[in-house]
């Protein structure tokens, strides 16, 4: 499959890395809103174009991977570009998924393309496991724990505070809660019971530490409801120890049968690089989108609509023989 990407940030570079792992995938173009001359793509020979060229170049690729942000890029870009080609995105603003789906579905259906939105691991593989858990154990409870890992949203929120030069937030599951759930207990957990927030902050010179610490710890939605730790560090230490983007987490479903037998399902991820793993999931589902498009399907899909066999470049016979 020939792949174009829009945006060459963390996810874009992750997509580029994931493509190299898949023999049937090829990166054929990078589209950017910047001046194309300023974007240097690591893979040799891949041309960089302005996003204004997408319509004209659409015949060169099978699918366009949207690598922009969920806040302002994807809500506009995905419904726009699906007019010209099949697309896949990582839209992750949970409450706005129905609206985004409706917009993309309308444009994809009208233009006879297939779009798949909200791909990755959460939303994505975690969602899939929540669905399977609730289907298999309808009389059950589920839990999602994130981390230990970097939350870009929370890091951004700290960086927006006046006087903050750089910041990284690690979401860490509370060990006691995780152990209880893993042992099959079904505790009622507040947000504070489940995760702590560990923040590493570089300040501009002369900024008051305790004022910033107070502002972080009392920030509504992001930190106020959690036990939050704040560490002020130098730019050197930050650059040395806090540039990686690890993440992961667990989805649990615990159910009890009429005969009082318990079942515990856990799906767990440990990731050195959140954007690279997200991109790996996207490439597998891009393969499925291409197949659905070839079958003549159209409209907007999610991970819930994809038969798992479509994720592999193998025949059904091979898949059954090797993997069932």
Contact range with a copy of itself by CB under 8 A, out of 52-60, 191-199, 210-218, 265-273: 265-273
Closest CA to 151 of 174, 130, 167, 166: 167
Out of 184, 204, 234, 294, the only residue in the binding site for a copy of itself (CB under 8 A) is 184
Give yes or no for a cis peptide into 148 (omega within 30° of 0). Answer: yes
Contact range with a copy of itself by CB under 8 A, out of 26-34, 44-52, 153-161, 258-266: 258-266
**218 or 268: CB nearest a copy of itself:** 268
Contact range with a copy of itself by CB under 8 A, out of 154-162, 212-220, 229-237, 266-274: 266-274
**143 and 268 Cβ atoms separated by less than 8 Å:** no
Q: How far is CA 253 from the centre of its chain?
A: 21
- The residue written with tokens 């120890």 in the block is 241
Out of 3, 18, 29, 30, the only residue in the binding site for a copy of itself (CB under 8 A) is 18
- Can you spell out the DSSP letters for 277-310? HHHHHHHHHHHHHHHHHHTT--EEE-GGG--GGG
CA dist 9 and 63 (Å) reads 18
* Pair of tokens at residue 107: 């444009």
- The residue written with tokens 């874009």 in the block is 12
Q: Write the binding mask 70 to 99 for a copy of itself: x where contact by CB under 8 A, - elsewhere.
A: ------------------------x--xx-
Output the 3-class SS for 233-277.
Answer: CCHHHHHHHCCCCCEEEEEEEEEECCCCCEEEEEEEEEECCHHHH
Within residues 301-320, the interface with a copy of itself by CB under 8 A covers: 302-309, 311-312, 316-317, 319-320
**129 or 228: CB nearest a copy of itself:** 129
Q: Is 218 in the site for a copy of itself (CB under 8 A)?
A: no
- The residue written with tokens 């233009």 in the block is 111
- The residue written with tokens 């697309």 in the block is 87
Q: Is 321 in the site for a copy of itself (CB under 8 A)?
A: yes
- The residue written with tokens 């970097």 in the block is 150
- Collapse the DSSP code of 105 into the 3-class scheme (helix H, G, I; strand E, B; otherwise coil) and give the result: helix
Q: Is 235 in the site for a copy of itself (CB under 8 A)?
A: no
Collect all residues with Cβ–Cβ distance below 8 Å to 211 and sequence separation of at least 6.
Answer: none
Out of 8, 145, 259, 298, the only residue in the binding site for a copy of itself (CB under 8 A) is 259
Q: Is 52 in the site for a copy of itself (CB under 8 A)?
A: no
**43 or 218: CB nearest a copy of itself:** 43
Within residues 117-176, the interface with a copy of itself by CB under 8 A covers: 118, 123, 125, 127-132, 134-139
Within residues 98-117, the interface with a copy of itself by CB under 8 A covers: 98, 101
Residues that bind a copy of itself (CB under 8 A): 17-18, 20-23, 94, 97-98, 101, 118, 123, 125, 127-132, 134-139, 184, 255, 257-259, 261-273, 276-277, 280-281, 284, 287, 302-309, 311-312, 316-317, 319-321, 323-324
């Amino acid at each position: 499959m020939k792949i174009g990407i829009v945006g060459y940030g963390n996810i874009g570079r992750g997509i580029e890395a994931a493509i190299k792992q898949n023999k049937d995938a090829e990166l054929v173009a990078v589209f950017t809103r910047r001046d194309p001359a300023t974007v240097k793509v690591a893979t040799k020979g891949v041309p960089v174009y302005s996003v204004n060229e997408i319509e004209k170049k659409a015949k060169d690729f099978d699918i366009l991977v949207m690598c922009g942000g969920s806040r302002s890029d994807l809500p506009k870009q995905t419904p726009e570009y699906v007019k010209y080609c099949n697309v896949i995105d990582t839209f992750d603003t949970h409450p706005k998924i129905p609206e985004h789906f409706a917009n993309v579905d309308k444009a994809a259906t009208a233009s006879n393309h297939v779009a798949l939105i909200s791909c990755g691991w959460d939303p994505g593989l975690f969602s899939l496991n929540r669905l399977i858990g609730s289907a298999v154990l309808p009389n059950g409870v589920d839990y999602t724990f994130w981390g230990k890992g970097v939350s870009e949203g929370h890091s951004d929120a700290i960086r927006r505070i006046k006087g903050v030069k750089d910041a990284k937030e690690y979401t860490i599951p509370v060990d006691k809660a995780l152990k209880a759930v893993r042992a099959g207990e079904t505790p009622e957990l507040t947000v504070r019971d489940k995760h702590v927030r560990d923040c590493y902050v570089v300040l501009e010179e002369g900024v008051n530490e305790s004022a910033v610490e107070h502002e972080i710890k009392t920030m509504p939605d992001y930190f106020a409801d959690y036990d939050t730790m704040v560490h002020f560090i130098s730019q050197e230490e930050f650059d040395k120890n806090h540039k990686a983007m690890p993440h992961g987490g667990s989805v649990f479903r615990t159910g009890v049968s009429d005969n009082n037998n318990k079942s515990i399902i856990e799906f767990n991820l440990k990731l050195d690089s959140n954007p690279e793993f997200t991109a790996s999931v996207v490439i597998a589902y891009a393969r499925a989108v291409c197949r659905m498009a070839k079958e003549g399907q159209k409209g907007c899909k999610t991970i819930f609509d994809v038969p798992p066999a479509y994720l592999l470049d193998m025949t059904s016979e091979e898949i059954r023989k090797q993997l069932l």
